[in-house]
Amino acid sequence: MATKMAFAQCRKHDPASKPHVAVVGAGLSGLRCADVLLQHGFKVTIIEARSRIGGRLHQERLPNGHLVDVGPNWIHGTAENPILDLANQTKTTTSRWDVNSYVFDESGVLFPVDQGEKYAGAMWDIIQEAFKHSNRHGSETDGNKSLADFFREKVAERFPDSETDFERQRQIVLLMSELWGAFVGSPISRQSLKFFWLEECIEGGKDPMEKPLHPSSLPSCMHICATCG
């Protein structure tokens, strides 16, 4: 919308003048908007509240020294996907995601593949149960009940007190459940179970996924900012 309005204003100005457009937010959308405007001759200033660019696209270093992606870190479906085109243009190294689930604990220790599959499977099963519950019982579900509340109930059912190391297993799945918050951009403690049915999963789940291995797209974004007036 901002881009269309800017183009419309441009037609009303003296052709010799260069319209100056402010873009609020230096996330992927804001940077792309600035990029398109610059390509069409506009002067652009990006306003960002944080001390960094990228929005949800950023990295953090864990206490054990590992650098991890926080936020989007894969491309879901590679058939005619413009995001993959951008990754290729910025020479971002990618790798194809395999079918196994590799799960690390808080200290960075890798679980055996069978355990990783077990915990990942439990997490996704509960997500599906939450979708079904919200679709079927949303009208009578308390609006204050969150997806996190639902997870706590379900892990207690899946790992009863009679099971060996049940507390640790519950904790692992609850920690993994926070991944869903990263997928949709909001912590699961703030996602309403009542309205969870409104979350739509991306189609093409069986398409190949590409995993970026290096944040080389950020230098390109920084180049865009450097050219903004």
Tell me the pLDDT band of 76, cut-offs 50, 70 and 90.
Answer: confident
Say if 10 falls within a structural domain: no
Say if 2 falls within a structural domain: no
Domain endpoint, select from 33, 50, 67: 50
Residue 12: predicted pLDDT: 58
**Residues 122, 224 within the same domain:** yes
**Residues 36, 148 within the same domain:** no
**Residues 37, 119 within the same domain:** no
How many whole angstroms separate alpha carbon 15 and alpha carbon 167? Answer: 68
**Residues 31, 126 within the same domain:** no
**Residues 112, 219 within the same domain:** yes
For residues 221, 224, 225 and 229, what is the CA-based torsion angle, rounded to 10 degrees? -170
**Residues 121, 222 within the same domain:** yes
Say if 89 falls within a structural domain: no
Residue 215 has pLDDT above 60, yes or no: no
**Residues 42, 106 within the same domain:** no
| 128 alpha carbon, distance to own chain's centre | 19
Residue 220 has pLDDT above 50, yes or no: no
* Portion of the chain with pLDDT greater than 70, in percent: 78
- Residue range 63-91: mean pLDDT, rounded: 81
How many domains are contained in the chain?
A: 2
**Residues 161, 220 within the same domain:** yes
Residue 39: predicted pLDDT: 95
Say if 122 falls within a structural domain: yes
- For residue range 109-147, list pLDDT tens digits in order: 899 989 989 999 999 999 999 999 999 998 899 989 999
Q: By residue range, what is the domain housing residue 198?
A: 101-207+215-228
Domain endpoint, select from 11, 29, 50: 50
Say if 72 falls within a structural domain: no
Say if 159 falls within a structural domain: yes
- Residue range 95-122: mean pLDDT, rounded: 83
- Residue range 184-209: mean pLDDT, rounded: 74
**Residues 107, 183 within the same domain:** yes
**Residues 34, 136 within the same domain:** no
- For residue range 6-61, list pLDDT tens digits in order: 555 555 556 667 899 999 999 989 999 999 999 999 999 999 999 999 998 888 88
Tell me the pLDDT band of 179, cut-offs 50, 70 and 90.
Answer: confident
How many whole angstroms separate alpha carbon 57 and alpha carbon 200? Answer: 21
**Residues 112, 201 within the same domain:** yes
Residue 224: predicted pLDDT: 34
User: What is the phi/psi pair of residue 150, to 5°?
Assistant: -65, -40
Residue 217 has pLDDT above 80, yes or no: no
Residue 195 has pLDDT above 70, yes or no: yes
How many whole angstroms separate alpha carbon 65 and alpha carbon 68? Answer: 9
Say if 62 falls within a structural domain: no
Tell me the pLDDT band of 219, cut-offs 50, 70 and 90.
Answer: very low
Say if 83 falls within a structural domain: no
* pTM for the model: 0.55
| Contact of 125 with 174, CB cutoff 8 Å | no
Residues in CB range of 179: below 8 A, 6 or more apart: 123
| Contact of 45 with 217, CB cutoff 8 Å | no
**Residues 43, 116 within the same domain:** no
- For residue range 65-75, list pLDDT tens digits in order: 888 877 766 78
